[in-house]
A = this chain, B = another copy of it.
Amino acid sequence: MSEGKTRRPRAETPKGFRDYFGAEVTERKAMLDAIAGVYHRYGFDPLETSAVETVEALGKFLPDVDRPNEGVFAWQDEDKDWMALRYDLTAPLARVAAQYRNDLPSPYRRYAMGPVWRNEKPGPGRFRQFYQCDADTVGSGSVAADAEICAMLADALEVVGIPRGDYVVKVNNRKVLNGVMEVAGLAGDDKEAERGIVLRAIDKIDRLGEDGVRALLGAGRKDESGDFTKGAGLDEAQTTIIMRFVSAKSEIEKRLIDLQGEALAVAKGLSAFVREVRDANNPVTRGKHLPSQLALEAHARVTLKYLSDIVEGSEIGAEGVAELEAIAEILDAGGYGPDRIVIDPGVVRGLGYYTGPVFEAELTFQITDEKGRPRNFGSVAGGGRYDGLVKRFTGQDVPATGVSIGVDRLLAALRAKGRSTADTAGPVVVTVMDRDRMADYMGMVAQLRNADIDPDNPAKGKIRAEVYLGNPKNFGNQLKYADKRQSPVAVIQGGNEKAAGTVILKDLILGAQIAQNATLEEWKDRPAQVEVPEADLVAAVRRMLAK
């Protein structure tokens, strides 16, 4: 290498990218492995496509004059064809479903986990490479496929450590929304622009409230900074129809309160039942006590009735409600009641390509944000039915439905709740007192590595151990190293110990506790180390690890 004349390269991760070290890697892997286990159990097979696709196959982005639009990382290959890094796992699936349509089983259930790349402006916590974890069923138009995805999502959340009551899978149907649009006279091809504005307005209900959404449906809205957003220009009647959908959640709540009124007339004790229904569907109170099946079923019934009312007269709307009913019935037969999966008209999902049921998994427990305020954790997964993606390639309709779990968000949730399960213990460190006896120390470490942590339970694996391989001159550095490695035990054998046929074991975890909590007097009385015969090395390390 002759680097003489050129300046040194900068040792930097490229802008918007990051490195993952140690536990960051193993925790994510443990989570994805657990999810893969659930996907596998549901009959889904893994698929791993390459990171690189032709821009043509990815769609959405087409070579312009010089290079494709922003959004993907793209380049021209030697034949001047544009290639790009995949921006999600769904576009490659559509390509695979078309390319291998004669070989794959149909329906084809597949899961995929891996990085995707976005050429977007990086920001805090927003990276240009991140993981996705998807499961999709291609080739089934049955709502059973959608119901299955919802059940699988619930199982996946539980298997990684989100207990029942701390999450809810919410289901809605785009067809219900289409029905509402139809009733409001917004169904035609010439109304696409209005529908787009309406969709975006509905999606902002949490932020803008009902008045804000109403303004966007009409003439438009001026925000606090004075900026004006043009509205959809709907008239009063149209706005009322859309708002009946937007306010579905609060309206359903009102109906349940009416139900309570009726119930009171029958028997006062029933009010507890209705309170339970409301609590069960309130993210803040959910999980405090598990609602009764009866209460949740009442909620589902009221919801379906409400939706059915607001799409009255629309065939597509009625179809949507019927599908939601069928999904609820299927989930119920599998034991996935509304304590885990609920119909929620508030779920819209931004992506334009959804054509039927849409779902979202929300974590309902609270965390404290950076300003110390409690807030709901929120959404960690979403998906739905998209029947148009494969058609791009083949010209034929291929129904498909699927879900994508936000890997980083779910991982953050597990960490917030202290439920990340990956083994992050450091290795036993064999220190080097006499550099000429490296072979002896390597012999000790080999003994440890080849010994079971627990001879009665070989499934626990073998002891993790290493020799200090830096410059052994300064013994303090060796102990600092062991500390940095989060080592539980240091093994020491100097000349005296060698002569006596013994080794010293230092319990570094106990040592750290003593150093934190004890006075110097106590510290001296309880030295966290033992001297044992060489032949007992493995047994003594095992005892220390078992503490």
Contact = CB atoms under 8 A, between A and B. Distances in A.
Interface of A: 1, 3, 8-15, 17-22, 24-26, 29, 37, 40-43, 45-54, 56-57, 59, 73-75, 77, 81, 83, 85, 95-96, 98-100, 105-107, 109, 115, 117, 128-129, 137, 139-140, 142, 144-145, 147-148, 151, 155, 326, 329-336, 352-353, 388, 392-395, 426-427, 429, 438-443, 445-446, 449-450, 459, 461-467, 469-470, 481, 484-485
B12 A467 contact: no
A481 B392 contact: no
Contact of A466 (B13, B15, B43): B43
Contacts of A59: 9
25 contacts: A8-B395, A10-B56, A12-B54, A13-B50, A14-B83, A15-B77, A17-B52, A18-B50, A19-B96, A19-B100, A21-B45, A29-B46, A41-B461, A42-B449, A51-B51, A75-B75, A105-B481, A109-B466, A137-B469, A148-B466, A155-B449, A330-B439, A330-B442, A334-B446, A335-B443
Contacts of A462: 41
Contacts of A96: 11, 19
Q: How many copies does the complex hold?
A: 2
Pick the most buried of A54, A139, A388: most chain B CB atoms within 10 A of its CB.
A54
A50 to B, nearest CB: 4
B481 A330 contact: no
Given A54-B12, A140-B469, A43 B105 contact: no
B21 A47 contact: yes
Nearest to A139: B470
Contacts of A14: 50, 52-54, 57, 77, 81, 83
B392 A115 contact: no
Contacts of A53: 13-14
Contact of A19 (B9, B11, B47, B77): B47
A50 B484 contact: no
Contacts of A98: 11
B427 A43 contact: yes
A494 to B, nearest CB: 18
A449 B47 CA distance: 21
A446 B334 CA distance: 5
B83 A11 contact: no
A464 B41 contact: yes
A13 to B, nearest CB: 7
A462 to B, nearest CB: 6
Contacts of A148: 442, 466-467, 469
Contact of A392 (B9, B15, B77): B9
Contacts of A485: 43, 105
Pick the most buried of A29, A105, A353: most chain B CB atoms within 10 A of its CB.
A105
Given A353-B1, A392-B3, A144 B41 contact: no
B115 A439 contact: no
Contact of A73 (B40, B75, B115): B75
A45 B487 CA distance: 13
Contacts of A41: 449, 461-465
Given A392-B8, A485-B105, A147 B442 contact: yes
A234 B6 CA distance: 34
Contact of A50 (B106, B129, B388): B129
A10 B51 contact: no
A393 B11 contact: yes
Contacts of A440: 333
A57 B10 contact: yes
A17 B10 CA distance: 31
B470 A107 contact: yes
Given A109-B466, A481-B106, A117 B333 contact: no
Given A1-B353, A3-B392, A470-B106, A11 B439 contact: no
Nearest to A425: B40
Contacts of A54: 9-10, 12, 14
- Counting from the closest, the 4 A-B pairs by CB-CB distance are A43-B466, A334-B446, A11-B98, A333-B443
A446 B288 CA distance: 27
B392 A129 contact: no
B438 A144 contact: yes
Given A12-B57, A392-B1, A25 B37 contact: no
Nearest to A130: B50
